[in-house]
Amino acid sequence: MARVVLSGALKRLAGGASQVEVEAGDVRQLIRALGIKYPALAPHLDDGYAIAIDGEIFQDAWFAPINQDSEVHFIPAIRGG
């Protein structure tokens, strides 16, 4: 299973879990699985975050592949103005 590293607000919304393992083949499946496991996370995962999979950062990457041994990080978007 892929290892998902949570920090900041996402960690709090996941009940303090800093790492969780999730079965998913792509980002869309990962977000769905995390939302089921941690319902408080669901409304926050699909907006405002880039996703790093094994060190490569993706923006709007719903179908980016996730391997069984991948490490995934949610990175807060930096807003400018």
Tell me: the pLDDT tens digits for 48-81?
788 999 999 987 788 899 999 999 999 887 766 5
pTM for the whole structure:
0.88
Burial class (CB in 10 A: 0-12, 13-18, 19+), 79: exposed
Q: Give me the phi and psi of 57, to 5 degrees please.
A: -90, 130
The ranges assigned to domains in the chain are 2-76
pLDDT at 62: 85
pLDDT at 80: 63
* H helices present in the chain, as ranges: 8-13, 27-37, 42-45
Tell which CATH classification among 3.40.50.720, 3.40.50.2300, 3.30.70.2500, 3.10.20.30 matches the domain 2-76. Answer: 3.10.20.30
